[in-house]
């Protein structure tokens, strides 16, 4: 009998709500997300600003404890771990933040930044830590001669390489990268993306790559999940979702991506979404996308859609697609 290997990460019905200034009301930043991340896989998580991508990332790592739901890492629930168990599990899951200027300690040199986690988790000793830092810097494309410099002495791309090295210092199995290239120049973005893809392949890492740029997802991810107002509305392989989007929101996102061919760009039809995304403080009844959806019907205002399987590895959350769903 062939044993089926469990995914590295299983996110089951995660909700993260915050109390608002109005008594009794809650901001539903993440409102019931379920995802799987397989071993050695890169999952792109996309959506508009404010849709809950970053909050979901922090809830997965238990940096922001979720209101409901469970996250399993290698089959173990992170939420039920004791403090000591969580400390032991921390090296396996690391995060790369959006702004390396803010996430790096300005008073710590590169050497201290990279050595501290290795010494704290006893992955290196005082005698071996310098060589470990040198190897880490070389792995991310930084010259070891810079190890005594401070973050302000580096460019944005170099600072992001330091942040990547810090995430790799504890030899994790899971990395969550929260828009790691959005603050960088386009030429530097390509370098960092290529570096992340190379490291994931060489170190057999699994990664959730958060971005609002679909062209970046096409370059780096094997699968993609699209979020809207705290929920996943479409999920599948990168090829299926980008080439054959099924949810109206995904179709609108992809229609906004520029095409290099000027003739095709001039002739293609854009999908314009009117209005702003609703507030997570008071999301609309029924389908959360119906106030902006160009094809919404009366049932969309009343009935909440569920993620349904369109075919293997492709799911969407739309009432008008229910006839296409398979068991």
Please give the backbone phi and psi of residue 115, each rounded to the nearest 5 degrees, phi first: -75, -35
pLDDT of residue 1: 45
- Encode pLDDT of 91-113 as tens digits: 999 999 888 888 899 999 999 99
pLDDT of residue 2: 47
pLDDT of residue 4: 57
- Encode pLDDT of 207-237 as tens digits: 999 998 888 898 899 999 999 999 999 999 9
pLDDT of residue 224: 96
Render 102-167 in DSSP notation, one character per residue.
Answer: HHS-TTS-HHHHHHHHHHHTTSS-TTTHHHHHHHHHHHTT--GGGTT--GGGS-HHHHHHHHHHHH
Residue 120: alpha-carbon gap to chain centroid? 27
Low-confidence ranges of the chain (pLDDT < 50): 1-3
């Amino acid at each position: 009998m062939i044993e089926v290997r469990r995914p590295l990460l299983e996110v089951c019905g995660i909700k993260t709500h915050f109390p608002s200034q109005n008594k009794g009301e809650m901001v539903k930043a993440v409102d019931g997300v379920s995802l799987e991340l397989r071993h050695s896989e890169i999952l792109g998580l996309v959506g508009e600003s404010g849709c809950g991508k970053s909050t979901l990332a922090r809830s997965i790592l238990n940096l922001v404890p979720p209101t409901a739901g469970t996250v399993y890492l290698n089959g173990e629930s992170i939420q039920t771990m004791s403090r000591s168990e969580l400390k032991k599990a921390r090296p396996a899951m690391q995060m790369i933040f959006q702004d390396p200027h803010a996430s790096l300690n300005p008073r710590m040199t590169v050497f201290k930044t990279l050595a501290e986690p290795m010494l704290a988790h006893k992955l290196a000793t005082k005698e071996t830590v310098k060589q470990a830092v040198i190897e880490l810097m070389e792995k991310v494309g930084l010259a070891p001669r810079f190890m005594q410099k401070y973050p302000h002495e580096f460019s944005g791309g170099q600072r992001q390489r330091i942040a990547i090295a810090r995430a790799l210092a504890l030899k994790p199995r899971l990395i969550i990268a929260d828009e790691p290239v959005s603050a960088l120049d386009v030429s530097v973005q390509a370098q960092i993306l290529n570096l992340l893809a190379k490291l994931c392949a060489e170190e057999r890492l699994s990664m959730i790559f958060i971005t609002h740029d679909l062209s970046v997802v096409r370059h780096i991810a094997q699968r993609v999940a699209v979020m809207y107002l705290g929920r996943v509305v479409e999920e599948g392989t990168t090829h299926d979702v980008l080439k054959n989007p099924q949810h109206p929101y995904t179709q609108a996102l992809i229609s906004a991506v520029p095409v290099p061919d000027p003739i095709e760009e001039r002739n293609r039809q854009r999908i314009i979404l009117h209005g702003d995304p609703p507030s997570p403080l008071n999301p609309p009844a029924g389908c959360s996308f119906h106030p902006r959806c160009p094809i919404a019907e009366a049932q969309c205002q009343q009935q909440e859609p569920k993620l349904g399987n369109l075919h293997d590895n492709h799911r969407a959350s739309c009432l008008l697609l229910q006839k296409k769903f398979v068991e």
